[in-house]
A and B are shown apart, each in its own frame.
Chain A
């Protein structure tokens, strides 16, 4: 950041960090103090003519504050609402002054590039997306955490080689890449290379660098609903398509997950997604429909199943029921843990679950010593696919 400030001739720098990340703030504060103590920051750095002061601004957490114009508004004490660009911050930024604004990951690359040379940097990655990228690898993966990978690596390499596979005996189903406004890629697209162009072509974005691995017990409609809940809440509420479009999409997704889907819902979803994507003012609204559009593209049959009242992944609570099969030894463990007393604790008798009481909390399934509890559709028929007792 000091190098960047020197490059653009800035005399003041701000590190905008969410107040909800106290550890990050504490570390940066410590780092700034040490830099100042050693003369790398402050007036006349290292005795030269260049002076720079850096300070921390703690943002009151809002996803939209990651949008650069909203971030600047937030620093100015305004409501964090994006504005139309141009003018770009480089022209008119903080307090109307030209402002260079970069993500910390970008700035962190600078010393390495200067130290090792641009050639070594561009040798990493692909022709159009040079260098490396940091991802937060989470979900159904054996080894999760922060990973730095060269651009151009395939999804499969990340999931299998770095993550060590799903770590369960379940099949790798998809990855959600780019955070809440990223897109989903099915396992069949595992050869997709992680660079800006290839991801965009697949309907995804690099986004916030989130990479969630999903297995076949994850429901894609539920996933889209989950992310839409997030973006809908985090929309600043300024422009019509984002504020209302995300809400209307969420309503449809919630109804699908609750088994109240209607004819035409998928077309309505697509229409709303299109309106929100093309009409929104900033990146948040423009990318918010990505989870919906990408799951509709790759997992449309799951949506159709929800419309018909079935959740193929057996995830959506309103569409599933818990049952006990003949393996039951009558140990009463399930009845003891059931929070709503939906199971009669009759010792050495085969147990059964009262469907009207059951909240599908999964607790019984977790404690059953003989794996006698299985999940099926609400119409009581075991379904093929995930959770199928016949296949287990």
Chain B
């Protein structure tokens, strides 16, 4: 049995064990995009390289077999350079957005296409869960949001953008969310958070903090909560009853509202600092005098915060909404609320305060008209629907479903299950950016009843080719062409359905990117 050393640790493995498997035995995870246990190795992605100490050579660990006395390093400069090099090259030709333009444009980063798919499937409850994931006040924003997302919608280039805001309103008004997403199943902690200001930023912070089990008290000098939502929006646009309903919901989560209470007058700021573990400042634009009374560093804009964590110069004081950034966008205030809640939750649980998870995003950038037509495949040709009840009303179920069928689903179905994205995220500090002007064209194959195949996202790892070959699928998938034109395709003009055969599930599961994905997830 060969004995080898990996990163200075000596282990003994069965003869024939590959370096990748040996490293895993030693508890070391080696990234790989083309390896799968049980399939013949293929050595294509070259992300799994390790360095042989004796020769300095880089070896693909998925294929190189451990030999007696071998010394291997998995985290040298050369290894990192080679791995990042291969990943950057794969990204340089990757034709796909991780998130759709609507999502990346939305200040709250809402997963809009997912919500739309859920509405289309008649699952308005799940759709509302999706909205709640980023937006604490769905019914309110379903009525007043200026919807920057709709300006980014690629359907707008075809005829008119999706009616995203009204679809969100439909989910909020008609959907029954799960206890988790509404915060009803939260397990209480002992942490107390004071929130100054009952406007959209403060309410959103309270919602997500309460959902995480923290005890929140909101202070506001008005008689009723809502801030600008109550006092700055005309009633026909946002009826008080809708606002009250969402505030009631937050109240039911155990959030205490102390109205008619002005900090610095009725309650001293020092008392907040003494009585609470963390403080949220979401007062809207206050006077300079008030700003100074909080003892945090300010700028001409307002309170100075970290742009991602919303932490002020004081480690337990966070600020968001108009108090840090001018502008009346409620959706941005709500987004700040969620970000503050993420940071405070990290702070209270003793984790490093990094704010909400910021994911690596593959971006297509400008796409051609032909590519836009590719993305249009599968979308209903009907034109944008306006509610039959006239302006100011929402969609009926039928209208919502028909409108949602217009969505082009520009997002990646496997945005959360993509190894390429995960690895890029882990190695964001690549040595050199490779311009992506030579990327593959956007292409969608929807001929399979359940699967979407996007060749532009294929990294030619050959897993699906090997899976279908091993399973004896006729004809299976194969490689076509050479060089950079090499593609995975269906041979002899057969259908994708026939090529994948009984192996379809496994191929989708093992595909390391969104090249093969379930169409309706």
Contact = CB atoms under 8 A, between A and B. Distances in A.
Interface string A217-254: 00000000000000011111111110111111001000
B41 A84 contact: yes
Nearest to B33: A240
B86 interface: yes
Contacts of B63: 83-84
7 contacts: A62-B482, A237-B460, A237-B482, A241-B85, A241-B86, A245-B85, A274-B85
Contacts of A281: 43-44, 46, 60
A244 B85 CA distance: 11
Given A234-B482, A247-B438, A279-B82, A241 B64 contact: no
A278 B60 CA distance: 11
B144 interface: no
A243 B34 CA distance: 15
Interface string A275-312: 10011110000000000000000000000000000000
Contacts of A357: none
Q: How large is the interface on A (under 10, 10 to 19, 20 to 34, 35 or more residues)?
A: 20 to 34
Contacts of A272: 434
A86 to B, nearest CB: 7
Given A268-B432, A279-B49, A240 B81 contact: no
Interface string A42-75: 0000000000000000000010000000000000
B6 to A, nearest CB: 19
B310 to A, nearest CB: 36
A38 interface: no
B271 interface: no
B484 interface: yes
Nearest to A83: B43
A79 interface: yes
Contacts of B486: 235-238, 243
B485 interface: yes
Nearest to A245: B89
B481 interface: yes
B46 A233 contact: no
**DSSP class of A's interface residues: helix, strand, loop or mixed?**
helix
Given A248-B92, A279-B46, A281-B46, A240 B432 contact: no
A243 B483 contact: yes
Contact of A237 (B64, B65, B92, B481): B481
Nearest to A84: B63
Contacts of B85: 241, 245, 271, 274-275, 279
B243 interface: no
Residue of B58, B65, B78, B483 with most partner-chain A CB within 10 A: B483
Contacts of B400: none
Given A248-B92, A279-B58, 17 more contacts: A79-B478, A83-B63, A84-B43, A84-B63, A84-B64, A233-B482, A233-B483, A234-B482, A234-B483, A237-B485, A239-B46, A244-B484, A247-B438, A271-B432, A278-B78, A279-B82, A280-B46
Given A248-B438, A275-B82, A278-B82, A241 B483 contact: no
Nearest to A251: B438
B369 interface: no
B93 interface: yes
A267 B431 CA distance: 12
A278 B65 contact: no
B289 interface: no
B439 to A, nearest CB: 10
Contacts of B86: 240-241, 275, 279
Q: How large is the interface on B (under 10, 10 to 19, 20 to 34, 35 or more residues)?
A: 35 or more
A241 B44 contact: no
Contacts of A79: 478-479
Contacts of B45: 239-240
B483 A235 contact: yes
Given A79-B479, A84-B43, A278-B82, A235 B459 contact: no
Contacts of B41: 84
Interface of A: 62, 79, 81, 83-84, 86, 232-241, 243-248, 251, 267-268, 271-272, 274-275, 278-281
Contacts of A237: 460, 479, 481-486
A164 to B, nearest CB: 38
B60 A247 contact: no
A245 B88 CA distance: 10
A238 B44 contact: yes
Interface string B285-309: 0000000000000000000000000
Interface in B363-402: none
Nearest to B83: A279
Contact of B484 (A239, A243, A271): A243
B114 to A, nearest CB: 30
A240 B484 contact: no
B46 A244 contact: no
Contacts of B93: 244, 247
Contacts of A278: 58, 78, 81-82
B482 A236 contact: yes
A246 B485 CA distance: 12
B437 interface: yes
B106 to A, nearest CB: 33
Residue of A62, A86, A243 with most partner-chain B CB within 10 A: A243
B474 to A, nearest CB: 17
B436 to A, nearest CB: 10
B89 A240 contact: yes
A274 B88 CA distance: 13
B234 to A, nearest CB: 53
Interface string B36-76: 00000111111101000000001010011100000000000
Contacts of B49: 279
Contact of A244 (B60, B89, B478, B481): B89
A244 B90 contact: yes
A281 B431 CA distance: 21
B434 A84 contact: no
Nearest to B67: A86
Interface string B476-517: 001101111110000000000000000000000000000000
Contacts of A232: 483-484
Contacts of A275: 81-82, 85-86, 89
A280 B85 CA distance: 11
Contacts of B459: 240
Contact of A235 (B92, B434, B437, B482): B482
List 8 A-B pairs, minimum CB-CB distance, nearest first.
Answer: A237-B486, A275-B85, A84-B63, A247-B484, A244-B89, A235-B483, A240-B86, A279-B82
